Structure 1
Amino acid sequence: MTNAGAEEAAFFARLRRLGELRRAELGERVSLAVLARAAGVRSRETVREWLSGGRMPQDPEQLLCVVAVLRAEAVRLRGELPDEWRALLDAEEWRRLHADLAGARGRATGAAVRGGLAARALEERRLAELPDRPRPLGEWHPRALGVHPSISGASGETGFVLPEYVPREHDRRLRESLERIAAGPDAAFVLVRGESCTGKTRTAYEAVRACLPEWELAFPKDPDSLLKLLEADALGPRTVLWLDEGQDCLLGERGASAAAGLRRLLERPGPLLVLMTMWHQHHRTLTARPDAQARDPHAQARALLGQATDVRVPVAFSREERDQVRAIGDRAVATARMTSREGALTQTLAAGPELVAFYESADGAPDCYGQAVITAAMDARRLGHGPELPDALLESAAPAYLGEAVRADAGADWFANALRHARTKVMGVVAPLGDVVAAGGMGARPGVRRLADYLDHHGRTARSYVCPGAPFWAAAERFAGSASDLLQLANSAHFRGRFAVADALYARAAERGDASAWTERAYLRRDRGCREEAVEFCWKGHAAGDADALNSLAHWYLEDEEPEAARRLVPEIEATGHPRALLSLAEEEQLHDSDAEVERLARIAAELGWAQALTFLGRRRLLGGDHGAAEDLFRRAMADGDPGGAFELARLRWTSDKDVPGVVAAARRAAELGDYFTLGIMAQLVIGSDPAEGLRMAREAADLGGISASHTVRLSDWENTVRQQSLAVLADHAEATDGPGAGEALLLTAAEEGDLHVLAWLALRAWDSGDHAGAVTRYERATAGGYAPALVSLAHLRKATGDVAEAERLFRRAVDAGELSALYTLAHLWEEAGDPERAGRLSFHGLDPDGEPAQPWLPDGDRDFAALGADAAEGWLKVLRAD
């Protein structure tokens, strides 16, 4: 054993004797919670690990606080302390021993480094070609790691400024996690997430610097660099893999490969840390469960993120935290405190409001050209383009945001001047459009820009009801950065009723290699009545590698009552060998001659690792009356990460014997897997048998795991339903315990805190109770906050009160915000107004890029599609009239 090893063993043995003194001699009169508070750590488990000799306190002062409390209790009990106790409770001796052990560890590390110089030289040569290889943490400047500079708070101060850091509750949790990782043997994954400019990256940087100062850090700038690091096995023990804005590695064409590689990395011995930052909305995208018939592009990312220790950074400082800030002498922090609304200090520090003011103040030429380029970037990002925006896209799209006069006055150098304006640093901190770092980590990539986070955040709200004009969509078709960018932009055009635009973008995405784009084109053509082309595109998608294409086609054949055509596809689908496709095939039970064939396909999918197949098999067992086998399958599915299995298990435990603990355990596991629906639904059942537990579940579901429900976040329909139902449970409880009006007050509080879905719900309640003016006021507040579904509701109210013109305007805005259902409601409105031709064109062809009902659009092929379109439009009109 080395000297360092011997000193470490002696130190931990002494810690265990201290723990034995607390247990055996002091009778555990001092609780672990008391010791944790004295040491300033959040968890009593931390103190338990210290006193069991399982972990060395990183800060000697924390240990001395524990020793002082135990010594005081020993003196109270015994007065004069025995020599053995006195020695064990000697603070100075503990300080010396801690310093000696820290020094021995450092010397041992140094000796190991010196002894391995030759090996390291060989390793350096092997890794020399990696663009982003690990380097000692001390060599990294915070700016290089993505930390935002701050407003200086001092006149004349320039350069990269970081204000004094103000630790908060999430910092305590993060640092405790890093200390455990540093002392443990395993690789671990920590996710720091929050909204734009809330300090995610600074939080992570300060924690790593405080807890892992001697580690190395690798920061891959793109998915390719990350995959090279993983493939080269370049991440050894005591290394931080830094993934700022981690969604950039997990979304897109190589996202599944990156997520799978990271999962394999986490299976290796450590200590090693994968530290990722991410916005909430990207986390929801990556962890969302697809519908039964939908593809699942993020299965690997969802599995990876399910392993993370999740640390959430609030948008605002709490009142207590703001009080702490008052004592900070840093001028930048003081300035932020005085000028921040609702405690959003970090956003002010990052110059977010100044960015918006700079953007909005560009009224005339030449600045208006820069504003147009920035607006094009904002729209490209919110409509689905990735963070790396080509100059060609911005230049080509800018005319969509300029009038004829300023376009005519633009000189030959208008775009160069526009870029110069857009790259101006606001407050000397951050520009609306920044450079994209080169893959090797030095310099900027030419011809590519990145929109400032806060402007991205601002644009998603301020422009949520705006659909850009034809030049934007034409630019997107020609210059979008990748196939996945084209696919997401196509989806946005589709949701906004721009069917011809969507078809063209899907076609470009397919040409660029996205196989799923063929299937999306097929859906669009089928919905427009072009069945033959839809079938052709499904086969093209299948040939290009989309495992779901033929499942979709089989489903359509069944809908059209052509079972034999669907059955002919079964061998082709099974030959794909894709577990999702096999399960979808099994779920279409009418395609198969026997239950045995359904079971066989589902079992193959399960054996290939598709957890949803276990849930499917469990449901079949349940329908057959074999509850034991069903429960076993649901448990296996839940263990393998399928929240559907957790839901079915919770439901089974309730219907079988009202097993409240079993229901709660399954519901909480579902929540851990990202499914708060189960938690919210089961809360409504459990509250009748165990009110306290039911209320706890309802509160957790109402919080959606801490996800902000403000207008900056667009929750999915099921998330909003869960939140609404759970708040209803809490409101009913408040009415029962605190008297009439308490429930309404709770809901109003949620609405005032920014929950626009609840505000819209309260508007509906007001309308139903006869308070029409109150309903309109609340819907208008929700729409002002960017909540598009409220536009549809408000439009219906306006129509009901006879204001058809305003209803039409609101329905149009809803379509432009992506509420596709409003398109068909608008067609109903025009049909009722006696304009059937216009209604038919709108229903079938959608809107043209500039917002008017589109003329027939001509796809590939020689058939007279315009004539077919007219026939299909007449069919739509028949449906409308029937409704």
Structure 2
Amino acid sequence: MHDEHDGQDAALTELRKVLKAAMACMRLNQTDLATRAGLGRTTVSEALSPGKPAPSSQTVAALARALQLPVGELLELQRSAAEGTERGMRPVPGRPISEWDPHDLEVHPAGPGNAVPGPGRPGARAMPGYVRREHDRVLAELVKEAAAGHSRAVVLVGSSSTGKTRACWEAVQPLTAQGWRLWHPFDPTRAQDALEDLPRVWPRTVVWLNEAQHYLGDRTAGEQIAAAVHQLLMSEECGPVLVLGTLWPEYAARYTALPAPGAEDPHSRVRELLAGRMLTVPEAFDAPALTAATALAEDGDRLWADALSRAGADGRLTQDHAGAPELLNRYRHATPAAAAVLEAAMDARRLGVGLHLPQEFLTDAAADYLTDTDYDQLTDDWAEQAFAELAALVHGKQAPLRRTTPRTRRRPPAPPQAVDSPAQSAAGPVFRLADYLEQHGRTHRKRLCPPASFWHAAHAHLTDPNILNNLTREAENRQRLQWAHSLRERAADHGSTDALSYLALKREEAGDRAGAEALAQQAADHGSTEALFRLAALREEAGDRAGAEALAQQAADHGSTDALYYVAMLRKEAGDRAGAEVFYRQAADRGNTDALTSLAMMWEEAGDRAGAEVFYRQAADHGNANALFHLAMRRKDAGDREGAEALAQQAADHGSTEALFYLAALRKEAGDQGGAEALYRQVADRGNTDALTSLAALREEAGDREGAEALARQVADHGSTDALFYLAELREEAGDQGGAEALAWQVADHGSTYALFRLAALRERAGDQGGAEALARQVADHGSTDALFYLAELRKEAGDQGGAEALYRHVADHGNIDALFHLALKREKAGDRAGAEVFYRQAADHGNIDALTRLAEMREEAGDREGAEALAQQAADHGTVGMFPVAERSGIFTRLWPYGLDPDGTPTSPWRASVSIERNRHLPPGTV
């Protein structure tokens, strides 16, 4: 993976040859050379060692001077080696930490912006002295562990401008002397760069994922990036590495939230990566931090002195450094035109428009944010004045809305790919909204639907299909159905396969088969066969096998084997075994090993075990090791234990860790504890921490508690608390409540209180209500009300309505609005509609949109249509609750407004999709 010839061969080899020859002539060892050059011995060792990255220019210059070699010639070799010019290959990701400017890593500048000269750049802004807080101490320990050779990762979670990025920068400084590199993926996009180059990261590299939502939250690559980071952390070959990220709390909450039963789980890998790796950065300085900042100010640090004079009372000093209060004041006191532009920018960002907002879009979008009076008073140059007003700097650091230039791509052009069209450059200037105002907009404008001019401007000026899809979804979630249709058509016109697929299905449902197929073909031409695949399934379900097969074949011609496989399954379900086999064989011929497994299962179901085994083995030979494993399980079910073990061993030999697990379980069943443990260790050696959990359970059952806990802690050190959690349950079931609690608190120390919830539940079900509640209250005292909420649910299930309501009230008093919603439900079920409305209203006032929707339904049920419409519109304007659009949670929206709503909240007149292009201002084009 890290062979020196991967992009650095000749120049790096020659450089090291010259340095070693000079060392030999001067009879110096590496320690002597390090002393002469004023460098660390590790730095010198790596500069001379094959398999290590090219040394930095500073290191080479120091070595050249110490060895009395021509500096210029060696620096030329160093540049060739670092750039990989000998083979035109990309350099290793990152560069030495010492070569980075913190502001290039997105550390917020502070103060008036006076430039201080620095190497390789005209100037750098001064930063205030650093005040260390509790999270810095935790970071420092992780950095020490990384320096000692252990890969580590942490994501700092806090609101905008709370000092997360600066904390990361300060934390990595001790690694500079050890020659660590730092890599900040951002070109051509953050997600794309990370996904492409994470496998190329060298040992002793800091992976800098500032604003990690751009990586982990990417709709296309986020889960893959999380998996790649996890693999990097687990790989001994790549380690040690240190992964540092930052997130706003709302993103952290979104990524770590468990999906509702039966719902999609779009962030499962991200949630696993973040588990036990999040570190909270507080909003405000505590008393010790304020004392430290005051001491710096008294020692002459003017930046701290100024910040303390403005924000010392509430402790929000880092926000002051970043200009947040002034940004908010500038918005609040802006001219009407400038405020309209800012609000359009806030809405654009919260609804999914990219960082770079085109000026033409913002100018057109701002119109309906103005009152009629303010609109009538606009001058011809109003837009120029508004953008100039918003570009003025706040304390010399930031502007509410600043003009920006997207970075130029500096990589060799890649071959064209058949995917959604890339983002197109906006015609004219683009602007970026200040982070603090973006967050302010997300918080304070979340219940507002943008006006008509916003949607019109988006349709007229935005061309990126992904952004258009985002806006389509947001319009649809808010029941602005006509605009959603028009934006989706524009996205399709710009190559969005999602939009093309959706429109194809709608055409199919309307009976326009030719139109559906044409749109599906367009999607396939852009790289997605999903539409063809789904059309094939619809045709099959409608009984049109010939049509389904034709579409499946078209999808296959575009590279999809899933369509063939799906039709085969449908044939099998319909009893057409011969037809199913034909399609399974076609899919298998195109490399789908699942098709071979399905063929094997068909033959086995028909009683031909020998024929089935042929297909299972073919699947295994094509890389599907689990095929043999499935065959092994079938043999065991048939009573052939010996045959099952033989096949499971073959599957394990083909690389299936699942088969090794199965073998271990078989050995355990047979009473062979030693054999089972040996197999679990084999699985653990392959990097699977679940095997360590199973080993811990074996030790616990054998009475070796000390050994069990040691193994469980190993698993926890690898980022999973499952083993500790499992041991806690075993201790509880054995009656050792003290031991169970001790282990559960260890799990909590690793970032998860779920084990404590489970212990509380076990005690509740065992009849120990006092013990359960005492434990749940301990968890609540540590900041989590989920355990009390869980207990309330258990009390409700057990019929203890009074006890449940008391706990719900306690949870609600601690700010959990879901508890208010459940109290309302309880009151409503008990027939107390008036009491229910009170709690629904309280929950709605705290942001629970489900409560608002239920209030609307209750008004509708009572015959109060006007009241129902007012409440339902508030819910619709909000758009989504968690992962779910409001409109998907209740049929009231369709009943009230079958054609949707206009942006101003009035019901939309009857309309239908049309091929005509109607360009009336602020009306959705393409509808009549």
Distance 1:490 1:543, change over 3 A: same
CA shift in 2, pair 1:825/1:455, >3 Å = same
Match runs of 1:149-298 below 5 Å: 149-150=109-110, 162-184=127-149, 190-212=154-176, 215-224=180-189, 238-248=204-214, 251=218, 269=238, 272-279=241-248, 281-282=250-251
Consecutive unaligned residues of structure 1, counting only runs of 5 or more, are: 8-97, 153-158, 707-722, 832-838, 863-883
Superposed, which structure 2 residues align to 1:542-553 within 5 Å?
542-553=524-535
Normalised TM-score (structure 2) = 0.60
Q: Residues 360 and 333 from structure 1, CA distance in 2 versus in 1: closer, same or farther, beyond 3 angstroms?
A: closer
Does the CA contact (< 8 Å) of 1:218 and 1:240 recur in 2? yes
Shift of 1:504: 2.4
Within the candidate set 430, 438, 448, 1:456 is matched to: 438
Alpha-carbon spacing, 1:389–1:572, altered in 2? closer, same or farther (3 Å): same
Aligned-pair Cα RMSD in Å: 6.3
Which of 783, 792, 813 in structure 1 is aligned with 2:874? 813
Deviation track 1:734-770 (CA, whole Å, cap 9, x = no partner) reads 999xx99997676556545544334433443454456
Q: Tell me whether 1:312 sits opposite 2:279 in the alignment.
A: yes
Question: Post-superposition shift, 1:425?
Answer: 3.2
> 1:506 aligned to 2:484?
no
Whether the 8 Å CA contact 1:615–1:633 is kept in 2: the answer is yes
Query: Identity of counterpart residues, as a percentage?
Result: 31
Q: Which of residues 457, 461, 466 in structure 2 aligns to 1:479? A: 461
- Are 1:423 and 2:394 counterparts? no
Q: Is the 8 A contact 1:196 1:279 kept in 2?
A: yes
- Shift of the 601–432 alpha-carbon distance from structure 1 to 2, 3 Å rule, reads farther
d(CA) in 2 for partners of 1:289, 1:580 = 29
Query: Where do residues 653-664 of structure 1 align in structure 2 (5 Å cutoff)?
Result: none
Deviation of the 1:508 alpha carbon: 2.4
1:142 corresponds to which letter in structure 2? P
Is the aligned partner of 1:859 residue 2:819?
no
Report SS of the residue matched to 1:209: helix
Aligned length: 716
Instruction: Give me the whole-angstrom Cα distance separating, in 1, the residues matched to 2:576 and 2:434.
Output: 57
1:408-419 mapped onto 2 (5 Å cutoff)? 408-419=376-387
Where does residue 600 of structure 1 map in the other structure?
A: 596
Q: Is this contact kept in 1: 2:789–2:807, CA < 8 A? A: no
Range moving further from structure 2, 488-497 or 552-561: 552-561
d(CA) in 1 for partners of 2:474 and 2:244? 31
Distance 1:389 1:792, change over 3 A: same
**Cα distance in 2, alignment partners of residues 206 and 190 from structure 1:** 14
Amino acid at match of 1:143: H
Q: Within 5 Å, which residues of 2 pair with 1:5-84? A: none
Deviates more, 1:724-733 or 1:808-817: 724-733
Q: Is the 1:164–1:333 contact (alpha carbons within 8 Å) kept by the matching residues of 2?
A: no
In structure 1, distance between residues paired with 2:278 and 2:793: 32
Contact 1:583 1:601 in 2 (8 A): no
Q: Amino acid of the residue matched to residue 163 of structure 2? A: G
Cα distance between partner residues in 1 of 2:148 and 2:744: 37
- Secondary structure of the corresponding residue to residue 171 of structure 1: helix
3-state SS of paired residue (2:136): helix
CA–CA separation in structure 1 for the residues paired with 2:562 and 2:140: 39
**Aligned equivalents of 1:270 and 1:425: distance in 2?**
43
Measure, in 1, the Cα distance between the counterparts of 2:535 and 2:482: 22
Equivalent pair of 1:671/1:679 in contact (CA under 8 Å): no
Preserved contact between residue 533 and residue 555 of structure 2 (Cα < 8 Å): yes
- Decide which of 811, 816, 822 is 1:761's aligned counterpart: 822
The separation in 2 between residues aligned to 1:516 and 1:522, in whole angstroms, is 10
On the 8 A contact 1:605/1:613 being kept in 2, the answer is: yes
Q: CA 1:380–1:671 in 2, change beyond 3 Å: closer, same or farther? A: farther
Q: 1:303-335: CA deviations, max 9, x gaps? A: 798399833334435968768768755446645
Equivalent residue, structure 1, for 2:331: 359
Q: CA separation in 2, counterparts of 1:613 and 1:339?
A: 66
> CA offset at residue 388 of structure 1?
1.8
> In structure 1, which of residues 531, 536, 540 is the aligned counterpart of residue 522 of structure 2?
540
Instruction: Name the counterpart of 2:402.
Output: 434
Matched to 1:812, the amino acid is: Q
Among residues 370, 390, 402, which one is paired with 2:370 in the alignment? 402
SS in 1 for 2:429: strand
Matched letter for residue 855 of structure 1: P
Distance 2:556 2:753 in 1: 42
Whether the aligned pair in 2 keeps the contact of 1:192 and 1:278 (CA below 8 Å) is yes
1:271-299 per-position Cα deviation (integer Å, ceiling 9, x unaligned): 55454434455567778999999999989
Matches within 5 A, 1:610-759: 632=658, 692=740, 727-731=788-792, 747-748=808-809, 750-752=811-813, 754-759=815-820
> Cα distance 1:227–1:858, how it changes in 2: closer, same or farther (>3 A)?
closer
Match of 1:146 in 2: 106
Hey, what does 2:54 align to over in structure 1? none
Q: Which residue of 2 aligns with 1:846?
A: 900
Residues 621 and 228 (structure 1), Cα distance of their counterparts in 2 relative to 1, 3 Å cut: same
Shift of 1:170: 3.1
Query: Counterpart of 1:796 in structure 2: which amino acid?
Result: E
Offset of 1:129 from its aligned partner? 12
Equivalent residues of 2:157, 2:280 under 8 A apart: yes
State the 1:571 CA deviation.
4.5
Deviation for aligned residue 1:394: 1.0
TM-score, structure 1 normalization = 0.63
Alignment of 1:118-133 (within 5 A): 118-123=76-81, 126=84
The separation in 1 between residues aligned to 2:330 and 2:61, in whole angstroms, is 54
Q: Secondary structure at the match of 2:146?
A: helix
Instruction: Give the match's secondary structure for 2:392.
Output: coil
- Structure 1 SS opposite 2:914: coil
Per-residue Cα deviation, 1:148-175 (whole angstroms, up to 9, x for no partner): 24579xxxxxx95644433334333333
Q: Describe the shift of the 1:513–1:441 C-alpha distance in structure 2 as closer, same or farther (beyond 3 A).
A: closer
CA distance, structure 1, for counterparts of residue 365 and residue 538 of structure 2: 37
